[in-house]
Amino acid sequence: MNETDPVQAAFAEEQRKGLTVALQGRLVVLIVMAIWIGTTRLPPTVYMILGLIALFAGLGATQLWLVKKRGVESWALYLFVLAETSILVAAMIFSGPVTRDMPIPISYRFDHFPYFFLLIASAAFSYSPRLVLWSGLCIAFTWGIGGLLVRATHDGLATWGDIPTDASGETFMKIFLHPNFFAVGSRVQEILIVLSVASLLALVALRARRVVVRQAEAERERASIAETFGKYVPEEIARGLIADQGAFKPEQRTATVMFTDIEGFTALAETMEPAEVLLMLDDYFEALGTRISAEGGVVGQFQGDALIATFNVPVPNQDHAAAALRAALAIQRVMDEITFRGQKLRTRIGLNTGWVVSGSFGSRGRRSYTVYGDVVNAAARIEALNKEFGTTILAAESTITAAGSRFKADEVASRTMRGRSEPTVLFSVIGAAALQERAEDG
């Protein structure tokens, strides 16, 4: 697996996580089994079983280390599966003669076989069909070798064929319960069941593998689109449009709108090369966007040298009016402190708060996120009035009221905006401080 590919690397990580969870879960099960067996079994059987549990715990811990260091497809992991199945088969077959001096065929009467399915199930967590099939093949091979070994080393074994078709219940039980009864057909049936279960789980692992890969590919594509799209629209809007398949549902919400403009931009641009103008605007908008984003605002549109930003749409911000005022003051501080491609710029800002309608609008082939409403138009007109009053930050009374007593602001005028019947009271924002304290000082 080429982990230089982000998709394959992501899938490899999912494989590691899956098998790690399975191996950790197996360790927990072994601990529980050790506690149960240690308190319910007697010597010498308990010593052998606890020793076997400790061995499997050690093998599991080693595999955990191996998975984290080398991944699921390490060839050593396949050797561990073969070793574990071999140990388990040997323990199942020969535990009887060691602990209770019973004939080996008797070992096949106990319900040990289901433990094999735990090994196959653990392998399925790896999303590796090969590892699942390998687990099934190892179990079938070692179980079959164990059966052949018993058949080759024991004479006079009784089988299903030794039971007459018309045998009475007494005759059936006499043969079936004989210490040397060894049903070869049952062993073959168990092998077929193991191989069938392993094959089915391998198919499940294959399908899960494909789903995980598709999800990783889709996530990479989404990230790529968001990164590319985010270069042209704000990241929040890009992700929202992608998540909603290109359609932000229209919503109405109270928000604060910021409109900015560069003072004397047209005259300045005429004295510069076009390429320099674009570079200057890039730096300028980067500076503004950084301060706006820091306060939770979103830059929605660029119009020449103008910028429209919104607070509380599309990203919720309950303190949107105060956030917009803080952003405006931060922008003015930047204008005082730095130059852009050697040019000292002055920015005028208009702020207004009220109901807006936001969403993606346009044709089926081309849509864009837009904020509509009289509040937006009024913010642009308020920004233009800075020139008349000689101010740099002009805010409607609705913004000052919504922000609370946290900013220095002087009322400068009351104007009736186009399309409105009631006048709008305008404030020049000076700085951040309590209006109440300022009034008391006066």
- From 159, 191, 226, give the residue that closes a domain: 226
The number of residues in the chain equals 442
pLDDT surpassing 50 at residue 2: no
In the block, which residue shows the tokens 């020139």?
387
Phi, psi (rounded to 5 degrees) for 159: -130, 180
238 domain residue, yes or no: no
- The verdict on 162 and 285 lying in the same domain is no
Average pLDDT over residues 292-318: 89
On average, the pLDDT of the chain sits at 83
- pLDDT of 109 reads 74
Average pLDDT over residues 320-335: 95
Yes or no: say if 238 and 226 are a contact pair by the CB < 8 Å rule. yes
Query: 70-125: per-residue pLDDT in tens?
Result: 877 678 888 999 999 998 888 877 765 545 567 777 777 777 778 888 889 888 88
Highest mean pLDDT: which range of 69-83, 137-151, 210-224, 233-247: 137-151
- The verdict on 88 and 134 lying in the same domain is yes
233 domain residue, yes or no: no
pLDDT surpassing 80 at residue 304: yes
In the block, which residue shows the tokens 């399925």?
124
Highest mean pLDDT: which range of 110-119, 204-213, 387-396, 426-435: 387-396
Yes or no: say if 115 and 76 are a contact pair by the CB < 8 Å rule. no
**In terms of residue numbers, what domain contains 260?**
243-441
- pLDDT of 364 reads 60
1 domain residue, yes or no: no
CATH of the domain at 424: 3.30.70.1230
- The verdict on 147 and 248 lying in the same domain is no
- The verdict on 308 and 272 lying in the same domain is yes
Q: How many other C-beta atoms are found inside a 10 Å radius of the C-beta of residue 249?
A: 9
237 domain residue, yes or no: no
- pLDDT of 8 reads 72
236 domain residue, yes or no: no
Cα 377 to Cα 396: distance, rounded to the nearest angstrom: 12
Yes or no: say if 295 and 330 are a contact pair by the CB < 8 Å rule. yes
Q: How many alpha carbons fall within 13 Å on the CB side of residue 396? A: 30
- The verdict on 259 and 197 lying in the same domain is no
Lowest mean pLDDT, pick from 147-151, 268-272, 348-352? 147-151
55 domain residue, yes or no: yes
- pLDDT of 96 reads 56
- pLDDT of 359 reads 79
232 domain residue, yes or no: no
- The verdict on 296 and 158 lying in the same domain is no
In the block, which residue shows the tokens 């007593």?
405
Provide CB contacts within 8 A for 231, sequence distance 6+. none
Which helix (H) or strand (E) covers residue 254, if one does? strand 251-262
Phi, psi (rounded to 5 degrees) for 232: -115, -20
231 domain residue, yes or no: no
pLDDT surpassing 80 at residue 296: yes
- From 193, 226, 259, give the residue that closes a domain: 226
Under DSSP, the state recorded for 161 is G
DSSP H stretches of helix in 230-297: 235-243, 265-270, 274-294
Strands 367-372, 407-415: pairing is: unpaired
Lowest mean pLDDT, pick from 16-25, 186-195, 360-369, 373-382? 360-369
- The verdict on 52 and 193 lying in the same domain is yes
- The verdict on 247 and 221 lying in the same domain is no
More confident residue, 361 or 144: 144
- From 198, 226, 254, give the residue that closes a domain: 226
- The verdict on 337 and 435 lying in the same domain is yes
Question: CA–CA distance from 387 to each of 259, 305, 348, 376 (Å)?
Answer: 14, 16, 8, 19
**pLDDT band for position 323 (50/70/90)?**
very high
What token pair was written down for 345? 């710029």
Which helix (H) or strand (E) covers residue 421, if one does? none
pLDDT surpassing 90 at residue 300: no
Average pLDDT over residues 197-216: 85
**pLDDT band for position 261 (50/70/90)?**
very high
Average pLDDT over residues 207-226: 72
Cα 235 to Cα 226: distance, rounded to the nearest angstrom: 7
More confident residue, 222 or 202: 202
- pLDDT of 136 reads 93
Average pLDDT over residues 346-370: 82
- The verdict on 98 and 220 lying in the same domain is yes
Q: What share of the chain is helix, strand, coil (3-state, %, to 5)?
A: 60, 15, 25
Residue type, 101: D
Average pLDDT over residues 328-341: 94
Lowest mean pLDDT, pick from 162-166, 194-198, 341-345, 352-356? 162-166
Domain count, the chain: 2
Query: 125-174: per-residue pLDDT in tens?
Result: 888 899 899 999 999 999 888 888 888 887 777 787 788 888 888 888 88
pTM: 0.52
The end-to-end CA distance of the chain, in Å, is 74
Burial code (b: 16+ CB inside 10 Å, e: under 16) for 147-174 equals beebeeeeeebbeeeebeeeeeeeeeee
Yes or no: say if 331 and 260 are a contact pair by the CB < 8 Å rule. yes
Cα 371 to Cα 249: distance, rounded to the nearest angstrom: 12
DSSP 309-357: EEESSSS--TTHHHHHHHHHHHHHHHHHH--BTTB---EEEEEEEEEEE
Yes or no: say if 351 and 382 are a contact pair by the CB < 8 Å rule. yes
- The verdict on 276 and 188 lying in the same domain is no
Which helix (H) or strand (E) covers residue 399, if one does? helix 397-403
- The verdict on 156 and 84 lying in the same domain is yes
Cis peptide before 44 (omega within 30 of 0): yes
Residue 305's Cα: distance from chain center in Å? 39
